[in-house]
Structure 1
Amino acid sequence: MLLAGYDVEREYRSLPFGSQVIVANMAADVAEMEIFLCPNYDVEQSMLSVDKLQEMWHLPEDGQGGWPPVLDLSQLKFRRQLHEAITVVQVSNGDDDEKEWVFKSLTRDLRYMYNELKMLLTLPTHPNVIPRPAYVVTKKGRFGGRHGVCGFVIEYLPLGSLKQRFLDASEGAAPAVTLQERFRWSRQVADALVHINSASPIGFYPDLKPDNVVLRARSVVDDKSSAARVELDAVLLDLEQRGGWFSWSPPEVVYVEYLEILAGGLGEEYADLRDEIAQKLGEYMPGWTPGSQNDRYQNLDGGFSGPWKALLEGRRKMRENSDGERGDDMLDNAQVFMLGKLIWCIFEGEALIRCGIDQELLQDNVPDSANSVSVAKTPAVFPEFRIAPAEIRELVRSCTAGAPEWEGRRRGVVVRGSRLVPAGGAHLDSKNKVWEVTEEETRAVAKEWWANEVNQARAFLQEVLDAAPSGSGRGLLGKINTRPTLANVRGDLLRLESQARHGIGG
């Protein structure tokens, strides 16, 4: 606890990277607060030096694909915190001290940050992918004096994310999004995904959602009038490759993630089920073991998500055995699924898709259409369409083939006020404030929903294990293989964008 006369700054600066400042109680007078400085030594101990990473990655010493300049953490000046892992900073290096940058770092499980750094340093540049880091940032550890890489500095795009853009537009805080912008952003994200997937052997993107697409202003001169105008372009960021939220990930990934959680978390009471699931996971992903946030970084292609790496391995085998012909690329299929959901958000003007039970559920504290008196005033729920053009609706449907929502299976609970309640199964009291539902009812609905999800997951994994080498199947596998390729989706979007620009179709 901090006491009078305590040299807070000195103690704070002496803490190892990743330590915490805990405020036990809030008070109007800071002197009445209980504040604790809690050191954390694990992060610094798991840091790797530039030399060690270079030994693993073998990057050129300079030029494209090489190492950026290295800064010490003390050369960054804090400006504001945008996210747990994202800090706006200024760099004190004598060049442009007033320019704002983003410092990306993690205070746990640094392997994801190192994997992203490798991706950014090896991926060829593209206008719709965040540029390679301008600097790598190191910090001297408290023990041994080793300088470990604690993060990197990248371009700061102050216009924010697609998610924030649609939230602002819905509240009247920003202009309405035009149809041409919707086509352009969708096509640019597809461009970025095709580019990332062209980078062999590590290229794929598993965390697509409006939060991870930011906007950059670009000046354009009209060919006819020579007048200048500003267009906003979509830029993809966050290349950690750790996977995404359940609500955004394709079912072939989500179901395996469910089973990983069960195999790594069930106690002895369910030992038979746990061991059965673990055995099947081992057949699907040879060498599989339950993960841990304490795992140290290893130089592995494709990151550390078991289900996504399994799809990456499937792509590798497909290319080895294709004899020049394209087979079913489930890694491509999985990314098309997420792209379809993003296209739905863009053309419906929605920041959330509201169809899963994960972090997004806790962000969505609005009446759902099933319980609202005025549906027109409530946000849409995937895959409900209201304003998207007909051809976009068909494209979204084909991209998201296999989504449980097409079969009428939606999430079982929603947030109302500060409570979780059954979706579509409760109602307001006379004051329109309290949802008249018991905890037991909510628990029963949630249990039934999860039981069905786990059954679907086990059935899918068995289908995969029983499938022919071609990957064909009559269940979920068959639906997955009907999805278009990323390249085909990009082509469709380019065609529709051109038609919209020239006023063709609707």
Structure 2
Amino acid sequence: MELSTRAIGEVVHPTAAFYQPPSEVGETLESLSPADSVVESTWENSLLNPKNRIDSLDLPQNPLWRVDGCAGLGTQYYVLPLFLQKIPPMRMDVFVSNFQPTLIREQLELHRAFHTKDAIRLPRLAITKHIVRILQIWTTSEFKDLAAFEDFYKSVPFGSRLVLEDMSLDVRRVRIKVGLNHNLEHKLLPFSRLADLWGSDFPFPQVIDFFDLHVVSILHDSVCLVRINEQLCIFKALTSGAKYLYHELKTLCTIEPHENIIVRPMHIVTKRCNFGTKKAVVGFTTFYHSKGTLRDVLPLSRAHGQLRRVDQLKWSIQLTKALEHLTRSGIYYPDLRLDNIVLSESSNIIMVDFEQRGVWCEFSAPEVNAIEYIRLIATDECVSESVSAKYRRMLQDLLPSFESLEDERYTNPKDGFNLPWIALSAAEQEAAEVYMLGRVLWCIFEGVSGPQKAAVWQSYRWEPDIEFPEYKRTPPAMRDLIDRCTRGRRGTLSNTIMRQHSQLFLTAKDAKEQSADDVREAAKRFWFAEIDEAERFLALRSSQRLKGEWNDNYYGRPTLKEVLEDLEAFQIQAL
């Protein structure tokens, strides 16, 4: 089964338990999942036919644009206009529909773009070269000169889109529609409104203007490397979900400093909106750590024989201390993964990303996943009303105010907008953090980029050679600690369905003997079992809480303090 946006709902998310195959006889080939469409092999649709092939993927001699990365499972591409002397962080990304005819998907390698995100491998894909060629023609044909384009680029709302319509293998036939993001402008708040919400004595950083920033590169869908007066720093902004941005800004400005947590923001960045006189807060800047994330550092260091036990222990202890500091400050951290741990110039770990949105489902502790599965089914538009209504009632029992978290407006909540974590007690939150910490410790001591081999949603430059909870390189004492931290762990979808390159396959069946329907059915059975277990767990939790008998550390994991003690004891033994 080919990876596509449709595979998320049919296989990867718990909504797969309620997937129903299309029943309408007249459904077109374009509406079907490309890999599942049976197309008669004729000269008209053959790759041997010249009209079905891309004429060229050679970049222009002097390309006007560059693609820095990809998000949205191969549908959103970060692009920069290289011909501007100073590039403001407008975040005018290119959007491509994932539902394309098979000939286009195959030649543009959209199946690979689904899981390829980084700026090293992505530019090698056909789709990125195609986008550069399309933008080259559009820029030179739609604007009388490059100065006219600059005026246009600086005048649109922040986060506006370039949507590629009528996708074709012929770059001259692709039409670009500019999607002006007025909706985001409407939700962005002025500095004065944040001051009203947070109080006159709030420790706001220095305010600077949006156009004082010059983009060097786009690192993530919410992060740019920018230059301000010759100083490099990180610009954090969200083109969707502005409420998460403001929540993170408030958290970082008020959190008690810690040497292993990103320092408070350097600037608040404001931009005048197109309508009215509102000058809205669009983002903030933070310190730039150039050594990168542990996701890339660990496998690269191991490959070169430079991953030392002393560093593994140092990073593990620093991370645990930072988490313990957050817990004492009353802050939960649901985003614990290698991507959110960077190295300082002195090779100490620094925790980043305090939106508190959480990680991909299945990555968290089982008690968090139990609630997240329910939330995903309750709020997915593709699930029938009768099914979603049942799970919305369950959410109501878990957190009566859950519907207020769905509001897109920022309302200054104390605990953010993460429903599963807000529904947990402080002790339950700590136990869930210990679970995630255990998985990160496994990555650190195994020297791999993630706990899963060939993860569906993202591939890495250095893919893991083993999968959690297998052990190859972790010392015995650490294995015992990791096993205790991850008590209650369950088998994941990857035990049943795996990604090979850009296809999904059943792990227990030869690839030549299975179909896309086999994959869907296996996913359906897996998710039915997981949802059944989630409902059982939540019913038990609710019953025992009413009786006052519930143990907030249900799986008996160690506390963060106990994890730290074990790590420090092992560090002394290792010296």
Band of TM-score, shorter chain:
0.7 to 0.9
**Deviation at residue 349 of structure 1 after TM alignment:** 0.9
Q: Normalized against structure 2, the TM-score is what?
A: 0.70
Counterparts of 1:236 and 1:478 in 2: how far apart (Å)? 26
Does the aligned pair in 1 maintain the 2:300–2:462 contact within 8 Å?
no
**Deviation at residue 28 of structure 1 after TM alignment:** 11
Q: CA RMSD in A?
A: 2.8
Counterparts of 1:199 and 1:414 in 2: how far apart (Å)? 40
Counterparts of 1:103 and 1:421 in 2: how far apart (Å)? 39
Counterparts of 2:210 and 2:251 in 1: how far apart (Å)? 22
The gaps in structure 1 that reach 5 residues or longer are: 92-96, 219-231, 316-328, 369-377, 428-434
Residue in 2 aligned with 1:437? 514
Deviations 1:372-399 (A, max 9, x none): xxxxxx7111111111011111111111
Residue in 2 aligned with 1:371? none
**Deviation at residue 479 of structure 1 after TM alignment:** 7.1
Counterparts of 1:120 and 1:338 in 2: how far apart (Å)? 22
Structure 1 residue aligned with 2:332, among 204, 208, 224? 204
Structure 1 residue aligned with 2:541, among 461, 464, 487? 464
**Deviation at residue 472 of structure 1 after TM alignment:** 5.1
Structure 2 residue aligned with 1:424, among 495, 504, 508? 508
SS of residue matched to 1:467: helix
Structure 1 residue aligned with 2:278, among 146, 154, 169? 146
Residue in 2 aligned with 1:251? 366
User: Which amino acid is the alignment partner of residue 58 of structure 1?
Assistant: G
Structure 2 residue aligned with 1:386, among 452, 459, 472? 472
1:52 maps onto 2:136 in alignment: no
User: Which amino acid is the alignment partner of residue 256 of structure 1?
Assistant: I
User: Which amino acid is the alignment partner of residue 235 of structure 1?
Assistant: I
Does the aligned pair in 1 maintain the 2:361–2:373 contact within 8 Å?
no
Q: Normalized against structure 1, the TM-score is what?
A: 0.80
1:131 maps onto 2:266 in alignment: no
1:74 maps onto 2:222 in alignment: no
Counterparts of 1:385 and 1:68 in 2: how far apart (Å)? 45
**Deviation at residue 124 of structure 1 after TM alignment:** 1.1
User: Which amino acid is the alignment partner of residue 458 of structure 2?
Assistant: Q
**Deviation at residue 8 of structure 1 after TM alignment:** 1.8
Does the aligned pair in 1 maintain the 2:161–2:181 contact within 8 Å?
yes
Does the aligned pair in 2 maintain the 1:472–1:481 contact within 8 Å?
no
Structure 2 residue aligned with 1:307, among 410, 417, 420? 420
Residue in 2 aligned with 1:180? 310
SS of residue matched to 1:480: coil
Counterparts of 1:457 and 1:242 in 2: how far apart (Å)? 20
**Deviation at residue 127 of structure 1 after TM alignment:** 0.7
Deviates further, 12-21 or 22-31: 22-31
SS of residue matched to 1:350: coil
Count residues in correspondence: 434
Residue in 2 aligned with 1:287? 401
**Deviation at residue 494 of structure 1 after TM alignment:** 1.7
The gaps in structure 2 that reach 5 residues or longer are: 1-137
1:492 maps onto 2:492 in alignment: no
Structure 1 residue aligned with 2:239, among 104, 107, 117? 107
Deviations 1:264-314 (A, max 9, x none): 23678551x43332222212212222864x611111111101111111xx2
Counterparts of 1:25 and 1:184 in 2: how far apart (Å)? 53
**Deviation at residue 436 of structure 1 after TM alignment:** 4.4
SS of residue matched to 1:139: strand
Residue in 1 aligned with 2:253? 121
Structure 2 residue aligned with 1:38, among 161, 172, 179? 179
For 1:478-489, list aligned pairs within 5 A: 480-489=554-563
Deviations 1:335-365 (A, max 9, x none): 111001100111111111118xxx9423248
Counterparts of 1:335 and 1:269 in 2: how far apart (Å)? 33
User: Which amino acid is the alignment partner of residue 330 of structure 1?
Assistant: E
Counterparts of 1:59 and 1:336 in 2: how far apart (Å)? 37
User: Which amino acid is the alignment partner of residue 257 of structure 1?
Assistant: E
For 1:276-425, list aligned pairs within 5 A: 276-289=390-403, 292=406, 295-311=408-424, 314-315=425-426, 329-354=427-452, 360-364=455-459, 379-405=465-491, 411-425=495-509
